[in-house]
Amino acid sequence: MPLALLLSRICLPAAKMPNTRSAASARLVRADVNPVVQEVKRESSVSFDVSKPESTASVKRKRVKRELELNGEHPKKQVGIVPDIEDFRYNRTKAVTSSIKVEEKVRVSSVIKAKAPENWEAVLGGIKNMRLSGQAPVDTKGCEKAGSLLPPKERRFAVLISTMMSSQTKDEVTHAAVERLSENGLLDPDAIVRIDEATLANLIKPVGFYQRKAQFIKEASKICLERFGGDIPDSLNELLALRGVGPKMAHLVMSIAWKNTQGICVDTHVHRISNRLGWVFREGTKQKTTTPEQTRMSLEKWLPKDEWEPINPLLVGFGQTICTPLRPKCDMCGINNLCPSAFKESSSPNPKQKKTRSS
């Protein structure tokens, strides 16, 4: 038999060869060089039997899956059936989406802290040294001193009333008004509710906006009686719900009355001095803050929490005695070598002097 005819009968079509066959296991060995008689030897472990086609169910399942993938769909998973290995393929779209969600959660939940100003500890220490004398009005007549000899519940109410009167009013004036209310037995919510508004306004005069404050004090006293059993609210939200109580007052009352400091009390002195020292900036800028609330949020980003309560009376007293609103006494200040605003405001003449010189 010719060699070509013999080989054509032995070799199988390439399309029917199993994919798993190894080249080494399918060696064809020619035993004789005689072109007429040839013998082909095979290793005993190799089988040329390709008569076992894939099962009909398997072929159909793969065909359906391929059609669904081409249409951008995925076959539904069935409970209790072992998943195919292709079900575990890496899905890039899902992976990217999940990573973005995690990053967004971290970004929202993270507490953003700002870098503390340079030399802030030396500046704070210098202010504390200047305030050791305790001769500022806030040291003897501040809201902290209201009702200091009263029982806890009555003292908390006195602190609330004193704080409500302190806005736009000097500590000496507020303290005197608290004393008049005490002398008339009006540091009590029930007594304030029973007195007429005009009499109350005359007693607290000359505190700033005394008529409006008399109205707010009567309303707050009624709420304290009806909702809190004669005590004052013990949360920021409930304090802020009282008319005439702003963030500064609410934080101060929480710190003094309840010994629960939840934020920094920022009044005009704290606001002014923090900006002069370069301690605060509007968010996302290097510009000074324009409101006490902006100052509070900026300070709380870097000032240690154990300084939140004492920073108010510390800077208030400093602002009353040395770092005053007009023409601060920079020559007497012990931190004038660290303050970026030192001698800048005190050296400028006031408007009246300027007009006189120009004329």
Q: How does 39-76 read in b/e, with b if 16+ C-beta sit within 10 Å? A: eeeeeeeeeeeeeeeeeeeeeeeeeebeeeeeeeeeee
Confidence at 114, pLDDT banded by 50, 70, 90:
confident
Q: What's the pLDDT score for residue 50?
A: 43
Q: What's the pLDDT score for residue 333?
A: 97
Q: How does 144-165 read in b/e, with b if 16+ C-beta sit within 10 Å? A: bbbbeebeeebbbbbbbbbbbb
On the question of pLDDT at 296 being above 90, the answer is yes
Can you list the domains of the chain with their CATH numbers? 120-132+266-344 (1.10.1670.10), 150-256 (1.10.340.30)
Question: What are the Cα distances from residue 174, in Å, to 55, 59, 271, 312, 340?
Answer: 95, 91, 20, 17, 33
State which of 2-6, 236-240, 282-286 shows the largest mean pLDDT.
236-240
Confidence at 10, pLDDT banded by 50, 70, 90:
low
On the question of pLDDT at 213 being above 60, the answer is yes
Q: Which of 195, 179, 121, 99 is nearest to 146 (CA)?
A: 179
Q: What's the pLDDT score for residue 66?
A: 65
Q: What is the pLDDT of residues 120-155, one digit of tens each?
A: 999 999 999 999 999 999 999 999 999 999 999 999
Measured in degrees and rounded to the nearest 5, phi and psi for residue 30 equal -90, 120
- Catalytic residue IDs: 248
Residue 247 token pair: 């963030």
Confidence at 345, pLDDT banded by 50, 70, 90:
confident
On the question of pLDDT at 47 being above 50, the answer is no
Work out the number of other CB atoms within 10 angstroms of the CB of residue 235. Answer: 13
Q: Name the residue type at position 346.
A: S
The mean pLDDT of the chain is 79
Element (H, E) at 107: helix 92-109
Q: What's the pLDDT score for residue 95?
A: 39
